[in-house]
Amino acid sequence: MKIVLAYSGGFGTSVILRWLRHNYDAQIVAFCADNWTGRGT
């Protein structure tokens, strides 16, 4: 099974990545994108 997760980099998505992998024995594909908020510029 593959699960695609939109990854925010926060604590919640960090925890759910491991939980999904452990509980569903799934391959996790994490997607992260720049949403052009201007932070860090």
Q: What is the pLDDT of residue 13?
A: 79
Task: Tell me which long-range contacts 30-39 makes (C-beta under 8 A, separation of at least 24).
Answer: 30/4, 30/5, 31/4, 31/5, 31/6, 31/7, 32/6, 32/7, 32/8
Is 60 exceeded by the pLDDT of residue 2? yes
The CA distance from 40 to 19, in Å, is: 30
If one compares 41 and 32, the residue with the highest pLDDT of the two is 32
Q: What is the pLDDT of residue 39?
A: 64
Q: What is the pLDDT of residue 24?
A: 92
Calculate mean pLDDT across residues 27-37.
80
Is 90 exceeded by the pLDDT of residue 6? no
